[in-house]
Chain A
Amino acid sequence: MSVSTPEIDIRIPTILRPYTGGEKSVQASGATLAEVIQDLERRFPGMEERLLEDGKLRRFVNVYLNDEDVRFIGSLNAVISAGDNITILPAVAGGA
Chain B
Amino acid sequence: MRFDSLEDSLGHTPLIGLPKLSPAPNVRLWIKMEDRNPTGSIKDRAALWMINAAERDGLLKPGATILEPTSGNTGISLAMIAKQRGYKMICVMPENTSPERSQLLRMWGAEIIYSEAAGGSNEAVRHAKEISAAHPEWVMLYQYGNAANALAHYESTGPEILEDLPTITHFVAGLGTTGTLMGTGRYLREHRPHVEIIAAEPRYGEVVYGLRNIDGGFIPELYDESVITRRFSVGSHDSVRRVRELLDQEGIFAGLSTGAILHAALGIAREVVKRGESADIAFILCDAGWKYLSTGIYEGSLDDAEERLEGQLWA
Interfacial residues, chain A to chain B (CB-CB below 8 A):
13-16, 50, 58-62, 64, 67-69, 71-73, 87, 89-96
- Chain B residues whose CB sits within 8 angstroms of the CB of A92 once the complex forms: 119-122, 208-209, 211, 217-218
Chain B residues with Cβ under 8 A from A50's Cβ? 214
A-B contacts, 9 of them at CB < 8 A, read A59-B219, A69-B201, A89-B203, A90-B217, A91-B217, A91-B219, A94-B177, A95-B313, A96-B71
CB-based contact A95/B231 at 8 Å: no
Q: Which residues in B have some Cβ–Cβ distance to A below 8 Å?
A: 43, 69-74, 119-122, 124-125, 143-144, 174-177, 199, 201-203, 206, 208-220, 225, 228-235, 257, 313-315
From known contacts A13-B206, A15-B214, A60-B214, infer whether A93 and B144 are also in contact, taking CB-CB under 8 Å. yes
Q: Is the CB of A15 within 8 A of B211?
A: yes
- Closest CB-CB distance, B225 to chain A, in whole Å? 7
The majority secondary structure among interface residues of chain B is: mixed
Instruction: Name the residue on B nearest A63 (C-beta).
Output: B233
Residue on A nearest B199 in the bound complex, by CB: A69
Would you call B315 and A94 a contact (CB within 8 A)?
Answer: yes
The smallest beta-carbon distance between B100 and chain A, in angstroms, is 14
Q: CA of A68 to CA of B234 in the docked complex: distance in angstroms?
A: 9
A64 to B201, CA, bound (A): 11
Closest chain-B Cβ to A92's Cβ sits at a distance in Å of: 5
CA gap between A66 and B206 in the complex, in Å? 18
Q: Is the CB of A72 within 8 A of B233?
A: no
What B residues does A59 contact at CB under 8 A? Answer: 217, 219
Interfacial chain A residues near B215, Cβ < 8 Å: 60
In the docked arrangement, what's the CA distance between A80 and B189, Å?
31
**Distance from B143 Cβ to chain A, minimum over Cβ atoms (Å):** 6
Contact B177 A96 (CB under 8 A): yes
**Residue contact A72 to B228, C-beta cutoff 8 Å:** yes
B177: min CB distance to chain A, Å: 5
A67 to B301, CA, bound (A): 23
